[in-house]
Structure 1
Amino acid sequence: MERSLIIGGILTLIFLLLIVGAPIKPFRFVGRLLVKIVIGALLLFAVNIVGTQFNFHLPINVGTTFVSGFLGLPGIGALIVIKLYILPS
């Protein structure tokens, strides 16, 4: 194929996406996912602030942030129980 034909096809697809619009649903999903991750990190940060008075710390990493973000307060509770009773430190 010629380069001009490939470039013309790509430009046509971009033009059609601009006119018709890209599907919004995947962008909403990614946005909600990012919001939940940020909320999970903030919840872990709040637990660590309160936990410093009791010599308690939950690590803020990808795994704990996902658990706290998707499960919310029950996820935080589960992480605290796991830290206190299952993982001795």
Structure 2
Amino acid sequence: MEPIVVVAVIAGLILLLLLVGAPLKPIRFLGQGLIKVVIGAVFLFFLNALGNQAGVHVPINIITASVSGFLGIPGVAALAAIDYWVM
């Protein structure tokens, strides 16, 4: 699938949720969790971009993005420490 199509579909879904709203709590809960996972992936991207000089590289997958998204900066630091000590 083309990246532009994926971004357009995600933007359309976000716009639809903003217009219609998510009255059901489970849908809202899943949406908030998905947003946290995306924010965690962005945290990991910046960690990899800035930590490249120090030799820190944490792979961006659903598990690491979830850990860094739900735990925030301490989760990113923990993943970096685990990567540093294991590798």
Rounded Cα–Cα distance in structure 2 between residues aligned with 1:56 and 1:75: 15
TM-score norm. by structure 2 comes to 0.69
Paired with 1:27 and 1:56, the residues of 2 have a C-alpha distance of 36
Unaligned runs of 5+ in 2: 1-21
Q: Which residue does the alignment assign to 1:64?
A: 64
Which runs of 5 or more structure 1 residues have no equivalent in the other structure? 1-21
Higher Rg of the two aligned structures: 1
Paired position in structure 2 for 1:47: 47
Aligned length: 66
Deviation, structure 1 residue 55: 2.4
SS at match of 2:58: coil
Deviation, structure 1 residue 82 = 0.8
Instruction: Compute the RMSD of aligned alpha carbons.
Output: 1.5
Identity %: 52
| Runs of 4+ with >4 A deviation | none
CA deviation vs aligned residue, 1:3-62 (integer Å, no higher than 9, x gap): xxxxxxxxxxxxxxxxxxx95111110110110000000000000000112222111011
